[in-house]
Amino acid sequence: MTKKQKNNLIRCIVSLVLVVGLSVAFHFAGLPWWVELIAFLIPYFIVGYDVLLKAFKNIRNGQVFDECFLMTIATIGAIATGEYREGVAVMLFYQIGELFQSIAVGKSRKNISDLMDICPEVANVLHEDGSITEEDPDDVEIGSIIVVNPGERVPIDGIIIEGDTSLDTSALTGESVPRAAHPDEEIISGCISLTGMIKIKTTKEFEDSTVSKILELVENSSMRKAKAENFISRFAKYYTPIVCYSALALFVLPPVIRLLLGLSADWLDWLMRALTFLVISCPCAVVISVPLSFFGGIGSASSKGILVKGSNYLEALASTDTIVFDKTGTLTKGVFEVQEIFTNDDVSRDYLLERAANCESASNHPIAESILRAYKKEFSAEIDHNLIYDVEEIAGHGISIKYRQVKGASVSYKESPDGVVESVDKKVASGEEVHYKIYAGNMRLMKMIGAPVTKEHDEGTVVYVAESRLSEKNQASEIKYLGCIVIADELKETSQEAMSKLRKQGIKTIMLTGDSENAASLIAEKVGVSEYKSELLPGDKVTEVEKLLGEETANEKGQTEAGKRSGKLAFVGDGINDAPVLARADIGIAMGAMGSDAAIEAADIVLMDDDPAKISLAMKISRKTLRIVKQNITFAIAVKVLCLILGALGIANMWIAIFADVGVMVLAVLNATRTLRI
How far apart, in whole angstroms, are the C-alpha atoms of residue 331 and residue 532? 13
CB 595 within 8 A of CB 579: no
Among the options 157, 168, 326, 609, which is catalytic?
326
Please compute, for residue 412, the number of CA atoms within 13 A of its CA located in the half-sphere on the CB side. Answer: 22
Residues 6+ apart with CB under 8 A from 34: none
Neighbours of 501 (CB within 10 A): 18
Backbone angles phi, psi at 356, to 5 degrees: -65, -40
Comparing CA positions, the residue from 554, 49, 587, 1 lying closest to residue 318 is 587
Could you list the beta-strand ranges (E) of 306-381: 306-308, 320-326, 332-343
How far apart, in whole angstroms, are the C-alpha atoms of residue 649 and residue 64? 27
DSSP assignment letter at 138: G
How far apart, in whole angstroms, are the C-alpha atoms of residue 85 and residue 21? 11
Neighbours of 656 (CB within 10 A): 18
Comparing CA positions, the residue from 288, 310, 302 lying closest to residue 109 is 302
How far apart, in whole angstroms, are the C-alpha atoms of residue 282 and residue 243? 9
How far apart, in whole angstroms, are the C-alpha atoms of residue 3 and residue 480? 78
CB 94 within 8 A of CB 669: no
Give me the count of residues in the chain: 678
Burial of 559 (0-12, 13-18, 19+ CB in 10 A): exposed
CA distances from 394 to 446, 475, 543 (A): 12, 20, 19
The 3-class secondary structure across 544-581, one letter per residue, is HHHHHHCCCEECCCCCEECCCCCCEEEEEECCHHHHHH
Report the DSSP pairing between strands 568-573 and 587-591.
parallel
DSSP assignment letter at 263: S
Residue 326 known to be catalytic: yes
How far apart, in whole angstroms, are the C-alpha atoms of residue 150 and residue 163? 11
3-state secondary structure (DSSP) of residue 66:
coil
Comparing CA positions, the residue from 250, 239, 220, 224 lying closest to residue 285 is 239
CA angle 544, 547, 548 (to 5 degrees): 90
Backbone angles phi, psi at 568, to 5 degrees: -90, 160
How far apart, in whole angstroms, are the C-alpha atoms of residue 5 and residue 16? 16
Active-site residue set: 326
